[in-house]
Structure 1
Amino acid sequence: MVGIVLASHGKFAEGIKESGSMIFGPQEDVAAVVLTPDMGPDDMHQKLLDAISTFNDQEHVLFLVDLWGGTPFNQVSRLISEEGHEDWVAITGLNLPMLVSAYGSRMGAETAVDVMKEIYPEARDGIKVKPEELQPASAAAPAAPAPAAAAVSAIPEGTVLGDGHIHYAYVRIDTRLLHGQVATAWTKQVQPDRILVVSDAVSHDDLRKNMIIQAAPPGVHVHVIPISKLIEVDKDPRFGATKAMVLFETPQDLLRAEEGGVKFPEVCIGSMAATAEKTVINQAIACDEDDVKTLKAIRDNGTHFYVQKVPSDHVDDIWALLKEKNMA
């Protein structure tokens, strides 16, 4: 029988698994894997592997995931790429009609691909409106992507666009880099022309790089670049008309950029994943002594930090949070 992994942010996967059992009865080889605020991408990756290891048949697995581009999807995508199983397949947009249909379909299907093909239209058609007369006759055509900005390489060197200085509209430290919260909530808030994911490690890792590019919101160009490239871009007047969102994986990477001459007046700390060696500061942030030392060095450069996971959250003071843990 095809195994099913339900993957989500928060407890959604656990809740929908329970709902599916109420409708279709208890199911074997079904696992709910949830991402909690204190987890990093590698933690989610391991939980997915652990879930699959409990299945009787690990060659035929269907992943039903909540959101394209979020950390659960990114780690499922990573598994599919790395593990090399021909019949591991994922669908995003997890809903209850999709799950119930999957339970019924897998009873007569041999492969996860067969189940996917059968449940996809039912999951889509499960979206209905009451009163019925308000139901759209057909799905609206997707909005055309924003016109691509002219490639900087096509602009003669020395050309000054705008005021000649790239505009850093939003800068964030986030272990998960570009994921669901950033790709949806923050890009809508900031409305950048480009997203710059700045990491030496990720820029040389084709798998992670492609996963991040896949998570890009429509109409926004995403570039995964090493720190040295950001330092070059910062000095290039051809980027003067660019409104950028910049994402760093660690404060250490951000400090290296600032030591190279890049100045950020304000930086949001979105998440710093917990490890055994780090102290948990709040649900999303964990630090060790080197992290605190690095944050202080960046602050001494004139950068103001604030803590905020999504735009609707209350803004916290990182120094007050660290002081509560006797780390400031």
Structure 2
Amino acid sequence: MKKILVATHARFAEGIVSSIDLILGKQENLHFINAYVDETPFNEKLEGFLNENVMDEDKLIIFTDIFGGSVNQTTLRYLTKENVFVISGVNLPVLLEVIMLGEDNVTEAKLKEIVNSSKDQIIFANDEMKKLNITQDDDFDL
């Protein structure tokens, strides 16, 4: 079974999962861990989640906020397992696409493709508005 975990510093993980819930409804395979918001060390929260929620046959996709950050470094320890994938720099478009990905399509190649295509969703809107010749006074619907 496909399992998705969003783990970030503070409450970003909870917030982005809340956005997913609003857009798609509650997703049973989507979980989050807010790191450093209480006295429980993140590595203990992660280990507890893995022990309670992830079976050997599951495919686990972990999203983190900052590559090289403490949350990300802790999750990278689990890459020795064949069924674990870590994606850092989580954003709503990439998370939505992975959630909607069929279980049979959870492969390293497909996840790389999704990550690469999600980079196109990061847009400097000022330039896009200029390209489209749209001003603040225009009533527009992109």
Do they superpose with TM above 0.5?
yes
Question: Which residue among 99, 113, 120 is the counterpart of 2:108?
Answer: 113
Does the aligned pair in 1 maintain the 2:6–2:64 contact within 8 Å? yes
Contact 2:54 2:60 in 1 (8 A): no
Cα displacement (A) at 1:67: 0.4
CA distance in structure 2 between the partners assigned to 1:25 and 1:77 by the alignment = 29
Taking the aligned partners of 1:56 and 1:19, their CA distance within structure 2 comes to 23
Do 2:20 and 2:96's aligned partners in 1 also have CA atoms closer than 8 Å?
yes
Are residue 73 (structure 1) and residue 63 (structure 2) matched?
Answer: no
Taking the aligned partners of 2:50 and 2:69, their CA distance within structure 1 comes to 20
1:72–1:54: structure 2 CA closer, same or farther, 3 Å change rule?
same
The answer as to whether partners of 2:11 and 2:37 remain within 8 angstroms in 1 is: no
Is residue 87–residue 113 contact of structure 1 (8 Å, CA) maintained in 2? no
- Offset, 1:13: 0.2
Unaligned 5+ segments in structure 1 are: 136-328
Which residue number in structure 2 is paired with residue 4 of structure 1?
A: 4
| SS of alignment partner, residue 53 of structure 2 | coil
Change (3 A) 1:115 1:63: farther
Distance 2:35 2:54 in 1: 24
* Paired position in structure 2 for 1:102: 98
1:87/1:56 CA distance change after superposition, 3 Å: closer
Question: More deviation in 69-78 or 117-126?
Answer: 117-126
| Matched residue, 2:118 | 123
Change (3 A) 1:114 1:3: farther
Higher relative helix content: 2
Identity in percent? 26
CA contact 1:88–1:112 (8 Å) conserved in 2: no
Counterparts of 2:124 and 2:38 in 1: how far apart (Å)?
Answer: 37
Q: CA RMSD in A?
A: 2.3
Specify the SS of the correspondent of 1:98. helix
Distance, in Å, in 1 between the alignment partners of 2:54 and 2:88 is: 24
Report the secondary structure of 2:85's partner residue.
Answer: strand
Aligned to 1:47: 45
SS of equivalent to 1:7: strand
Which secondary structure does the structure 2 equivalent of 1:109 belong to?
Answer: helix
Deviations 1:72-120 (A, max 9, x none): 101101233xxx3112111111110011011111x25343525522420
Number of matched pairs:
129
Higher relative contact order (CA 8 A, sep 6+): 2
Secondary structure of 1:124's counterpart equals helix
